[in-house]
Chains A and B, each alone.
Chain A
Amino acid sequence: MNEQTAFVTHGQNGQDAQSQPIIRVENLSYAYPVEDSDQPKQALSDVNLTVARGEFVGIIGHNGSGKSTLSKILNGILSPDSGDAWIEGMNTKDPEKIWQIRKTAGMVFQNPDNQLVSSVVETDVAFGMENLGVPSEQIKEKVTEVLDIVGMSDYRKARPHQLSGGQKQRIAIAGILAMQPDCIIFDEPTAMLDPNGRAEVMKTITNLNREHGMTVLHITHYMTELVGADRIVVMDGGRVVATGTPREIFSQVAMLREIGLDVPQMTELAYLLNQDGYDIPKDVLEIPEMVEALCHLK
């Protein structure tokens, strides 16, 4: 197992850049001030989390569970009340490091239309690099490379407003990739897309993680998008209430229901059949597994 070998080099002192987690969150708390009230609204309470290099971690939780507040702290948009968040060892509270942090942990948001700035795809992708004063030859090469990674090479000269939602999101991802981040935080990137767009974006994210070793933190309401994740973190009421592999998490159907979340349809079906005494593994995630499990019954 690759994962095993990756962990062998883990040092406890955090000196070795290759071994320390890319994202490290310790005892993080944050409350939003409420107008006309002394009682602030607690959004995060004592959150702890690490994301290792190359990992694909999903975060789920209902609206208001603290997911987006966490992502805003990771990106230095909000500063925590207590506790710390580190990106590659840089504390997100440190104003000196803010640009380096945002370059290291790129973010992709929900609405594709709010993220594209230029009228031509290639200049949009180049936008970040141009701001950094990267020489134009290098920019051209990089644009070619990142458009290829997201499967949008044919659209280099296209106009962003003529693209579908899924294509726009892939352009937004390309723009982030051009900045050569070490990890990408996706904050509900598929929420506004049609089924095809959702599939395109998920294929791109999975490919980035598996083929290019990109560390991914993926916040979503679509549970099926996390079936292939390494780990899932469940948030409720500003706290991390569970963390585990997709099988460990999704098989806890009752717990997820209680905090207002879904499970993938296959897991829900396995749960219901189990309740009726069928001998089906409770952690079924995908269709072929369900077919296999049912065939064993006959």
Chain B
Amino acid sequence: MSLKIEHLDHVYAQNSPFEFKALDDVNVELENGHFIALIGHTGSGKSTLIQHLNGLIEPTSGTVYLNGVDIFNQSKEDLVKTRFSVGLVFQYPEHQLFEETVAKDVAFGPKNLKLSEEEIQERVKWAIEMVGLDYEKMKDVSPFELSGGQMRRVAIAGVLAMKPEVLILDEPTAGLDPHGRDTILGQIEKLHKATGNTVILVSHSMEDVGRYADRILVMYKGKAVYYDTPTVVFRHVDELEKMGLAVPEVKYLMRALKKRYPEIDDDIFTVEAAKAEIERVFGGERDV
């Protein structure tokens, strides 16, 4: 089962002086169950791509198959179902909060799923706790009295409560401090591990990508240029830099070390792994 993207083209403002090809023959199959990081410079087509994945915008040509079903060639009712199974968290989702209380806001999506009231309440509680908030303390609070980071989490809970098979997040940590960032990404990872859902995380932080993702999809000028494990993608240091991207700082360190110590493994992009590899090559524990 997968999200299969086939010959996907998207042209904005076609046949006008502002014509812009945002997606250019994108072909990639995203197997279910991965934590996929989607990276690319601003304007590379990331946001346009993810809006196709749940049928929010229509391709100029080409299509997307969700578990074998062409999402742009189905009844309107089925397209709605597709939108329920592919949850999309936009950038700055806290701007979309609108209800009087946190619980009502999170319940808005599940209510559209025609679930029983009991099931809705269960999901609301589950989703609020899933994003690391205290349900009892939060449920009756107005979302507008919360801090920015808390509002962001409530907004994400609203999408989680739909229990989508595929969860897409467009820069969910933009503007958050390191602690807020770790909380949100940590909870998403926990959910991913517990349920085996597919996560697509749009991110500009190569450090976060190296830490959480097991697949990386790289977009450049509307094309999907790499789709592979972080190990393989981060080997393309020079190419990534030419595309306005980078690799985690640790990767640069390991590359520099490899020039002096060829025995060092430079397929490393987290601080923990770097520490282990340095200790392997430079000798075990020292005088602690």
Count of chain B residues near A, Cβ 8 A = 41
Contact A35 to B256, CB < 8 A, known contacts A273-B275, A277-B286: no
Contact B285 A266 (CB under 8 A): no
Which of B145, B174, B178, B180 touches A192 (beta carbons < 8 Å)?
B174
CA distance A64 to B147 in the complex (A): 8
The 8 Å CB contact of A277, one of B179, B180, B271, B288, is B288
What 1/0 mask marks residues of chain A from 142 to 177 whose CB sits below 8 Å from any chain B CB? 000000000000000000000011100000000000
Could you say which of A77-85, A243-251, A289-297 contacts chain B? A289-297
User: In the bound complex, do residue A188 and residue B175 qualify as a contact, i.e. CB atoms below 8 Å apart?
Assistant: yes
In the complex, number of A-B residue pairs with CB atoms less than 8 Å apart:
116
Most chain A beta-carbon neighbours within 10 Å: one of B41, B178, B179, B285: B178
Instruction: Report Cα–Cα, A273/B279, bound state, in Å.
Output: 8
Task: Report the bound CA distance from A287 to B175 in whole Å.
Answer: 26
Report the stretch among A50-58, A99-107, A120-128, A257-265 that lies at the interface: A257-265
Q: Does any Cβ of B come within 8 Å of A31's Cβ? A: no
In the complex, what distance in Å separates the CA atom of A275 from the CA atom of B271? Answer: 14
Indicate if A202 sits at the interface (CB-CB under 8 A): no
Which of B149, B179, B204, B285 is in CB contact (< 8 Å) with A194?
B204
B177, A287: Cβ atoms closer than 8 Å: no
What 0/1 readout, one digit per residue, does chain B (228-272) give for beta carbons within 8 Å of chain A?
A: 000000000000000011101110110011001100000000011
- What is the number of residues of chain A that contact chain B, defined by CB distance less than 8 Å? 45
Are A192 and B177 in contact, with the CB atoms below 8 A? no
Docked pose: A245 CA to B25 CA in angstroms: 50
Chain A residue numbers with a CB within 8 Å of B285 are 276-277
For the complex, is A195 an interface residue (Cβ under 8 Å from B)? yes
Q: Tell me if A287 and B253 are in contact (CB < 8 A).
A: yes
Residue B186 at the chain A interface, CB threshold 8 Å: no
Contacts of A110 in B (CB 8 A): 175
Residue of B nearest to A222 (CB): B205
Please state if B42 and A193 are interface contacts (CB–CB under 8 Å): yes
A260-B177, A265-B248, A265-B271 known; A63 vs B278 contact (CB < 8 Å): no
* A265-B287 contact, Cβ under 8 Å, with A294-B278, A297-B282: no
Which residues in B have their C-beta under 8 angstroms from that of A221?
Answer: 175-178
Enumerate A261-290 residues with CB–CB distance to B below 8 Å.
261-262, 264-266, 268-269, 272-273, 275-279, 287-288, 290
Chain B residue, CB-CB nearest to A198? B204
| Interface CB pairs A-B, < 8 A, 13 | A62-B178, A164-B42, A166-B42, A191-B174, A192-B175, A194-B204, A196-B244, A221-B175, A265-B207, A265-B250, A273-B278, A275-B288, A291-B253
The 9 tightest CB contacts between A and B, nearest first, are A260-B179, A277-B286, A196-B244, A62-B177, A262-B178, A277-B288, A195-B246, A265-B249, A63-B177
